[in-house]
Amino acid sequence: MCEVDTPTSTAVGGRGGNYLWEFHMFGTSFAGYYALYATAHMSRYGTTEEQLAKVAVKAHKYGAMNPKAHFQKEISVEAALKSRVVCWPHKLYDCCR
């Protein structure tokens, strides 16, 4: 998704789910769609960005053990929190496992 421009990525990515719902009607990407869920969860339950980062740390730990994983290295909570924002509150390591 980093090899093409954003409109192309959104158009192609939207076809992976419900094209009319995710692209034509609302223009959301998968990152935006799940960011809406995450912010609703944060509002309702008080979930913090640090707690989301801990999930990424756990996922990367197990990814490091999987020879077929896209990313095969462990990360720290600090690295997850400092990674670039993809669609707040999701950062790079929240999205790529």
pLDDT at 21: 59
What are 76-95's pLDDT values in tens digits? 999 999 999 999 999 999 98
Nearest CA to 29 among 8, 43, 45?
Answer: 8
Q: Which tokens hold the place of 5?
A: 């421009």
Q: Locate all alpha helices (DSSP H) within 1-97, ordered by sequence.
A: 6-14, 19, 30-45, 49-63, 77-82, 92-95
Q: What is the Cα–Cα distance from 11 to 29, expressed in whole angstroms?
A: 9
Nearest CA to 29 among 56, 6, 5?
Answer: 6
What are 9-67's pLDDT values in tens digits? 766 766 666 656 555 656 667 778 789 899 999 999 999 999 999 999 999 999 999 99
- Extents of the domains making up the chain: 31-95
Global confidence as pTM: 0.73
